[in-house]
């Protein structure tokens, strides 16, 4: 166990110290920050510090108070002026005392239309400020709770007839979870799988493997490598998710419109019951691809054999979405390779019976562990076939021979 831990630690620290990893980790939050920053800057640039004016012909806003702006950063708050004379307002507009003049017509309550007079293109903050003024004055007579509820909107929850499945229409994570899940899986397996295959192919060619297996077993080496490289991929992913969460929290603090998703227990079950063994399974299969070939590009080609079946349920997604409880959907959500993508889709759109969920988790974990053991065996057989690709026939024959000699 100590040796496994040491192999794991060496593999993990070597990988996370590489320039590629550091660049990969930093690039995502930097891109997000840049995008958000640019959004704020562009929002700010579209603001105009000049006041806006309005004139009310409807009588609805006769008693209106001009509340201080509830608009927050990056929208620049502007002062509001009330006019009784349209011409005076227009004159101020010409003299650049205001950036826009809003005329609320007599039939405003029927039509909802507001006329806007401008001399030059006003800032986006002029429209935002006016909309905020109208909304707040329209609900001014209501209690604070009602006003707040109108402002924040309502949450609709879709419940299946038997009550076992609930879908919060405003919790975007529930709806997008299957897709986010597939994205997480694809990213993890891409990062980890590539590191793994590169590590195995390189070390096989530069003979480091020979030195290590003279000190540790091939099982320890393989398991240590696979888990370490998986964690490298997950580390990168979690750092990205952490920054995404920070971004969402920041966004929520600014716009306060409920963008923060709620994590449900099912999400955790999918992460630890399906995603974890799923990535382990595919990583082990990809490692097998790495040890049987001589070059990284060959390993990448062979690994498609394993990643394609995993992503194949996307082809059947229409059928799975419209018939999540039909035999094809059930089979695909239990069969280890296809369960990784199918189960999250089913879970989001139907009440998956417990036995199916448990069976899928069980088969995935068992397959992942068997794949790990098989990867270690294949590794042992082919680790010293330098510069040579092992054919499937050779591999099977060696595996049989190996099984007999053990």
Partner 1 sequence: MPAIIAENISKTFGQVKAVDHISFHVDSGEIVGLIGPNGAGKTTTIRMILDIFKPDSGSISVLGGPMSEAKKDLIGYLPEERGLYQDITLEECLTFLASLKGMEMGLIKEKLEVYLDSFDLLDYRKKKLKELSKGMQQKAQLITTFIHQPKLVIVDEPFSALDPVNTQMVKDVFREERINGTAIIMSTHQMNQAEELCDRILLVNKGQIVLEGSLENLRAQFARREILVKAAGQLPGNIRGVDFVEPVNDHQRLYMSETATANDVLAGLVNSGVQLESFEVEQPSLDEIFIQTVTGRKEIK
Q: Which helix (H) or strand (E) holds 37?
A: helix 19-45
CB of 205 to partner 1, least distance (A): 10
- The DSSP annotation for 138-205 comes to HTTTS-HHHHHHHHH----EEE-TTSS-EEETT-HHHHHHHHHHHHHHHHHHHHHHHHHHHHHHHHHH
Using the rule CB under 8 A, is 389 a contact of partner 1? no
Q: Which of residues 326-385 bind partner 1 (CB under 8 A)?
A: 383-384
Closer residue to partner 1 in complex, CB, 152/207: 207
Using the rule CB under 8 A, is 3 a contact of partner 1? yes
Q: Is 104 helix (H, G, I), strand (E, B) or coil?
A: strand
Using the rule CB under 8 A, is 301 a contact of partner 1? no
Task: List Cβ neighbours of 107 (8 Å cut-off, separation of 6 or more).
Answer: 58, 113
Q: Is 52 helix (H, G, I), strand (E, B) or coil?
A: strand
Closer residue to partner 1 in complex, CB, 232/332: 232
Residue pair 375/287 in contact (Cβ under 8 Å)? The answer is yes
Closer residue to partner 1 in complex, CB, 212/280: 212
Compose the 181-210 pattern: x for residues touching partner 1 by CB under 8 A, - for all others. ----------------------x--xxxxx
Q: For partner 1, which residue of 63, 95, 154, 214 counts as binding (CB under 8 A)?
A: 214
Q: Which residues in 189-213 are b (16+ Cβ under 10 Å) and which e?
A: bebbbbbbbbbbbebbeeeebeebb
Q: For partner 1, which residue of 139, 213, 254, 259 counts as binding (CB under 8 A)?
A: 213
Residue pair 12/231 in contact (Cβ under 8 Å)? The answer is yes
Using the rule CB under 8 A, is 211 a contact of partner 1? yes
Using the rule CB under 8 A, is 398 a contact of partner 1? no
CB of 402 to partner 1, least distance (A): 8
Q: For partner 1, which residue of 32, 216, 251, 294 counts as binding (CB under 8 A)?
A: 216
**Which residues of the chain form contacts with partner 1 (CB under 8 A)?**
2-3, 6-7, 10, 14, 18, 203, 206-217, 383-384, 402, 405
């Amino acid at each position: 166990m100590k040796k496994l831990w040491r192999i794991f630690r060496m593999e993990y620290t070597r990988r996370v110290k590489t320039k590629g990893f550091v660049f990969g980790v930093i690039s995502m939050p930097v891109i997000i920050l840049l995008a958000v920053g640019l959004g704020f800057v562009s929002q700010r640039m579209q603001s105009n510090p000049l006041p806006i004016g309005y004139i009310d012909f409807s009588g609805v806003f006769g008693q209106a108070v001009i509340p201080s702006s509830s608009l927050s950063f990056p929208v620049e708050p502007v002062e509001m002026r009330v006019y009784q004379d349209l011409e005076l307002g227009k004159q101020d507009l010409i003299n650049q005392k205001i950036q826009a003049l809003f005329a609320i017509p007599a039939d405003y309550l029927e039509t909802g239309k507001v006329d806007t007079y401008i001399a030059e293109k006003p800032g986006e903050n002029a429209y935002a400020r006016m909309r905020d003024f109208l909304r707040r004055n329209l609900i001014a007579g209501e209690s604070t709770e009602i006003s707040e509820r109108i402002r924040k909107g309502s949450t609709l929850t879709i419940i299946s007839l038997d009550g076992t499945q609930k879908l919060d229409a405003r919790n975007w994570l529930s709806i997008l979870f299957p897709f986010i899940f597939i994205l997480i899986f694809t990213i993890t397996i891409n990062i980890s799988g590539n590191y793994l295959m590169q590590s195995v192919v390189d070390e096989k060619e530069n003979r480091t493997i020979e030195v290590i297996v003279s000190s540790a077993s091939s099982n320890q080496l393989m398991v240590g490598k696979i888990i370490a490289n998986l964690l490298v991929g997950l580390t990168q992913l979690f750092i990205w998710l952490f920054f995404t969460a920070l971004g969402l929290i920041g966004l929520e603090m600014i716009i306060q419109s409920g963008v923060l998703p709620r994590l449900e227990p099912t999400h955790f079950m999918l992460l630890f019951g399906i995603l974890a063994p799923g990535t382990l399974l595919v990583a082990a299969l990809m490692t097998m691809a790495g040890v049987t070939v001589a070059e990284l590009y060959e390993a990448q080609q062979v690994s498609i054999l394993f990643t394609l079946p995993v992503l194949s349920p996307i082809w059947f997604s229409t059928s799975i979405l419209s018939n999540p409880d039909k035999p094809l959907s059930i089979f695909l959500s239990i069969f280890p390779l296809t369960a990784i993508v199918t189960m999250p889709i089913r879970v989001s759109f139907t009440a998956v019976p417990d036995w199916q969920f448990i069976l899928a988790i069980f088969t995935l974990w068992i397959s992942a562990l068997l794949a790990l053991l098989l990867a270690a065996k294949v590794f042992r057989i082919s680790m010293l076939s330098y510069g040579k690709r092992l054919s499937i026939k050779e591999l099977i024959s060696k595996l049989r021979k190996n099984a007999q000699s053990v």
